[in-house]
Amino acid sequence: MNFIEGEVLLIDKPLNWTSFDIVNKIRYIIRAKLNLKKIKVGHAGTLDPLATGLLIVCTGKMTKQIESFQAQEKEYITTIKLGATTPSFDKETEEDATFSTDHITKEMIEQTLQKFVGETEQMPPMFSAKKVNGQKAYIAARKGEEIELKPRKIVISSIELQNINMPYIQIKISCSKGTYIRALGRDIGKTMNSGGYLTELRRTKIGDFNVENALEISEFEKNVNNLQLI
């Protein structure tokens, strides 16, 4: 492999790592192996710390392809807890409200999910990397500051209900760049006159790239010393 000329690495991001943690770790491993001071390394699409799954990492000249990878459709599998909300729309923050789920049926869930298929406008979460006036929204959110976010157009090509174990539902989503699955969980709960937040999130595909072909970071670190480098 030629990391300087450029490689596309598929990494299975573990829980509680940031996407930049992965980039920094890979950069360190490559620099140590090749005895380099600098090498370009970047990722194609942020995953939240509480999310796992496919992260595309590019090195060297392949970092020029990052935008094209980011633009591709993505697939996620997520578990949503209905009947409650959190400020971050996931488990990063504590539940701040609870709602009844007695009225929610399988038919209602299936009908609600289909309402989100197609082009819609979505309000990003306050706890996100979305920038407002040069500041990332999550920085303001963690300080308790209010900032004005604007909705953005997204496209959801499919949503499939995979499992129901109330108050939890598991769904698979195929969607466009810029879709916040945490915001989708919020909106699904709200549409059913209840609440909703993510308890698990895993990215399984980006375009034709599949997490089944990805390496855990520990596997990459173990194997890189055995690679034939150019």
DSSP-derived 3-state class of residue 72? coil
Q: Of the residues 12, 21, 48, 102, which is catalytic? A: 48
Q: Per-residue pLDDT tens for 92-140?
A: 999 999 999 999 999 999 999 999 999 999 988 766 565 555 556 555 5
* pTM, full prediction: 0.90
CB 217 within 8 A of CB 15: no
Map out the domains of the chain as residue ranges: 8-71+208-224, 74-206
CATH 3.30.2350.10 fits 74-206, yes or no: yes
Residue 48 is a catalytic residue: yes
Of the options 3.40.1050.10, 3.30.2350.10, 3.20.20.140, 3.30.750.24, the CATH number for the domain spanning 8-71+208-224? 3.30.2350.10
* Cα-based distances in Å from 174 to 46, 71, 73: 16, 13, 7
Backbone angles phi, psi at 79, to 5 degrees: -110, 130
The secondary structure of residue 96, as a DSSP letter, is -
Residue 18 neighbours by CB under 8 Å, 6+ apart: 49
Tokens of 191: 């549409």
Query: What is the b/e burial string over 65-74, where b = at least 16 CB atoms within 10 angstroms of the residue's CB?
Result: ebeebbebbb
- Helix boundaries (H) for 149-216: 181-191
CA distance 100 to 98: 7
pLDDT tens track of the chain, all 230 residues?
Answer: 789 899 999 999 999 999 999 999 999 999 998 888 899 999 999 999 999 999 999 999 999 999 999 999 999 999 999 999 998 899 999 999 999 999 999 999 999 999 999 999 998 876 656 555 555 655 555 656 666 667 889 999 999 999 999 999 999 999 999 999 999 999 999 999 999 999 999 999 999 999 999 999 999 998 887 765 54
CA distance 113 to 189: 10
